[in-house]
């Protein structure tokens, strides 16, 4: 009886596994970690923009009514300047609660670094944040 020799089959099998299974899995892991990092960064900047925007007080209203109210134009400009990084923008900006709070929704377009051929469209992340002005009586 003749024994069959299969020299080099392990090398071919390993190269096929590497090409079709391991490399796409590694690039998927890289993409998901990049997407999670961008989501955390956008969340941090959105909350910072909302908090800094609530500190833009309308001084004329404060002098006339003895009560604080948010200046919408200044608050929007502060939020937009904080969110002006890496293709992020202000999606929705609303002064709520009779001028005492801000609802801010930001968005950012993300292109995945490892899978541009499989996912040619960019993902859009959206974050919503609320911030309120706290008044202290003296």
Q: Which pLDDT tens digit goes with each residue over 57-90? A: 888 888 888 778 899 999 999 999 999 987 899 9
pLDDT of residue 119: 62
Answer yes or no: is 138 within a domain: no
Flag whether pLDDT at 137 surpasses 60.
no
* C-alpha of 118 from chain center: 22
Whether residue 1 is contained in a domain is answered as: no
Establish if 60 belongs to a structural domain: yes
Q: 1-40, pLDDT tens digit by residue?
A: 677 676 778 888 888 888 888 888 888 888 889 989 999 9
Is pLDDT of 111 > 70? yes
Please tell me what DSSP assigns to residue 76: H
pTM score, whole prediction = 0.79
Integer CA distances (angstroms), 84 to 7, 8, 46, 53, 138, in order: 59, 55, 11, 14, 37
Q: Count of domains in the chain?
A: 1
Range of the domain at 96: 11-132
């Amino acid at each position: 009886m003749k024994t069959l020799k299969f020299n080099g089959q392990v090398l071919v099998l390993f190269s096929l596994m590497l090409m079709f299974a391991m490399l796409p899995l590694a690039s998927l892991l890289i993409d998901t970690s990049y997407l999670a990092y961008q989501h955390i960064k956008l969340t941090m900047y959105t909350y910072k923009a909302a908090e800094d925007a609530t500190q833009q007080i309308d001084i004329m209203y404060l002098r006339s009514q003895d009560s604080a109210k948010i200046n919408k134009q200044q608050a929007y400009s502060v939020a937009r300047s904080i969110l002006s990084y890496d293709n992020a923008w202000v999606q929705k900006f609303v002064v709520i609660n009779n001028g005492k709070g801000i609802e801010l929704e930001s968005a950012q377009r993300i292109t995945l670094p490892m899978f541009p051929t499989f996912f040619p469209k960019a993902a859009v992340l959206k974050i919503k944040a609320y911030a309120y002005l706290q008044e202290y009586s003296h």
